[in-house]
Each structure stands twice: as structure tokens, then as C-alpha cells.
Amino acid sequence: MSIEPIYLLIALLPLIAYLLLLGVIRLLGRVLITTGGRDIAALGFAVAGLVAIGPGELFFPTKAAGVFGPWVWFALATFYGLIVSLIALTSRPRLVVYGRTPKQMLDPLLQAAKELDPGATSDADSLQVELPKLRIHLRAAGQPGLDSASIESFEPIATSEFWDQLLGHLRDKSQSSSAPAQRRGGTMVAVATLLAAFALWHALAERQQVVEGFRDWLWR
């Protein structure tokens, strides 16, 4: 069963943008550090197109669309944004790192921790950092060999001030760390490029159907 070009574009464009961003960061050897909430928001954007043509179509409020027209999509987008925000706000606080392995993040994490607690120490075997003055234990978690990691705490830290300070120091300390092999970044860029070429090829081959499909999809 063939997929209409408009649905292909809606599903793939956000995902392509997400893959390109992470792929280019890795190809350039840079490191991207963000909060867990922002990472969830970015992932929510990446799958937004798939949600729109999947559950969005399945549970589309046809009667409301007949009354409000295209404005119903604004309400659905707002509802989806609220769901993603709820998941991001209720998830356990952490920092997410792209472009470095958990082992590579141990030394920058220790240096950043010393800015908050001069007595901070690290354990290379468990990839953990202890801040004795603050009574906090941190770890660089993630799959060995993958150039992504998450910085988590064993203790529940309610205040966001600690994570904001750690994020700022960790960004400064990690810039001088060496980058891993660039093959993963190249793979992500290649996959994103192939997806974009596939979607654009279908869209250009059936341009009239794309215009009509978008009109029918937007105005129900």
C-alpha cells in the first residue's frame, strides 16, 4: 500500500531535522549538553509528524473540525505540547550529553563538580563522582562505546539551581575533551539525507497531489 506524499512529508520532516542536527554535531566533533527536559522536548518534536499521521488521524475530532476549521489543529498541537511538557517536567532531573561517551565525560564531570565542591572525587571504574560537601553522588550513565551519555544523581535533588550550575560548568569543561569516531555522525547524516531524498522525490513526482492532500488534510 503506497503512502500519500503529504503524509510522508509530515511524518519525516521533523525526524529528518532531528537526525541532521545530532549528526552534524557529531561530525564536527562538538559536544551538546542539555537538560533531560529539553531532550524530551526535542524528541517530542522529532516524532510529532508520526504522531500527527498516526494517533492524530485515528482520534481526529471531525465534528470540531467542521465547526472551527483549520484552527482545530492549533488546539491539537497545544494538547500535544502539554503532554510532552508534562512528561518533561515530571521526569527525573538529569543532563544529557551528545557527542561524547560516558567514559569521556568522567573527567569533565569531575572538573565541573569541583567548581561546586572542591573536595569532589571520582571513581573511574563505576564512572561516579562524589560531592561530599553537598552529599551528592553523580554518575555518567549510558551504553559503553556510544557517543551519548546522561548525567544522573543517586539522590533526589529537588532544586533546579544545582543542575543549572552543573550544566554551565560542564559545558565549559567538556569543550576541550577529545571527540570519538565520527562514523556515527556520518551514519546519522546519511540516513537523514536518504529519508529527505526519498520524501522529496515522492513530493516532486506528485506535486499536485501534495498540494491537494495538504488542503484536504488541513481543511476537514
pTM of the model: 0.85
Structure confidence by residue, pLDDT tens digits, 148-202? 899 999 988 767 889 999 999 999 988 777 666 666 678 888 999 999 998 888 8
Phi and psi at residue 124, to the nearest 5°: -70, -30
What average pLDDT score do residues 98-105 get?
A: 88
Report the pLDDT value the prediction gives residue 181, as an integer from 0 to 100.
Answer: 61
Nearest alpha-carbon partner for 167 in 39, 27, 23: 39
What average pLDDT score do residues 28-49 get?
A: 92
Q: Is the pLDDT of residue 2 over 60?
A: no
Report the pLDDT value the prediction gives residue 127, as an integer from 0 to 100.
Answer: 92
The larger pLDDT score, comparing residue 193 to residue 70, is at 193
Report the pLDDT value the prediction gives residue 140, as an integer from 0 to 100.
Answer: 93
Q: Is the pLDDT of residue 70 over 60?
A: yes
What average pLDDT score do residues 108-114 get?
A: 94
- 204 band by pLDDT with thresholds 50, 70 and 90: confident
Report the pLDDT value the prediction gives residue 3, as an integer from 0 to 100.
Answer: 67
**Percentage with pLDDT > 90 across the chain:** 46
Q: Is the pLDDT of residue 1 over 50?
A: no
Name the residue with cell 552543573: 166
Q: Residue 220, Cα to own-chain centre: how many angstroms?
A: 32
User: Could you write out the DSSP letters of every residue in 130-179?
Assistant: EETTTTEEEEEES-TT-SEEEEEESS----HHHHHHHHHHHHHHHTTSPP
- 220 band by pLDDT with thresholds 50, 70 and 90: low
Residues 6+ apart with CB under 8 A from 181: 147
The H or E element spanning position 35 is strand 32-35
- 6 band by pLDDT with thresholds 50, 70 and 90: confident
What average pLDDT score do residues 2-17 get?
A: 85
